[in-house]
Amino acid sequence: MAKSGREIMESFEALDLSGTAWSAAQLTGCDAKTVARYVAVRDAGGDPLARAVRPRLAPFRTATQRG
């Protein structure tokens, strides 16, 4: 489940206070990898609230439909 904007901002604030993703994760109740991912997006100039675009899978085709 995606985090709300408030939860992401709390992660940033906790990181600024603690200095490490692990400590920020402990303070905010989420995983350190999640905090690190949001910080990486922010540092790269991206929007941490934007959802990642994922390519769609090709529709399922059976062996008889492949021709």
Long-range contact list for 13-18, CB < 8 A, 24+ apart?
A: 15/39
Burial class of residue 22 (count of CB atoms within 10 Å of its CB; 0-12, 13-18, 19+):
middle
What is the predicted pLDDT for the residue at 65?
Answer: 60
| pLDDT-derived band at 61, boundaries 50, 70, 90 | low
Q: Answer whether residue 14 is part of any domain.
A: yes
pLDDT number for residue 22: 92
List the domain range (segments joined by +) for residue 34.
5-43
Q: Is residue 18 part of a domain?
A: yes
Task: Give 9-57 pLDDT, tens digit per residue.
Answer: 888 899 889 889 999 999 888 889 988 988 898 889 888 877 777 777 6
What is the pTM for the complete model shown?
0.65
DSSP state of 51: P
Residue 54 included in any domain: no
Domain-located, residue 67: no
- N residues, the chain: 67
Is the Cβ–Cβ distance between 37 and 67 less than 8 Å?
no
What is the total count of domains within the chain? 1
**Residue 34 within any structural domain of the chain:** yes
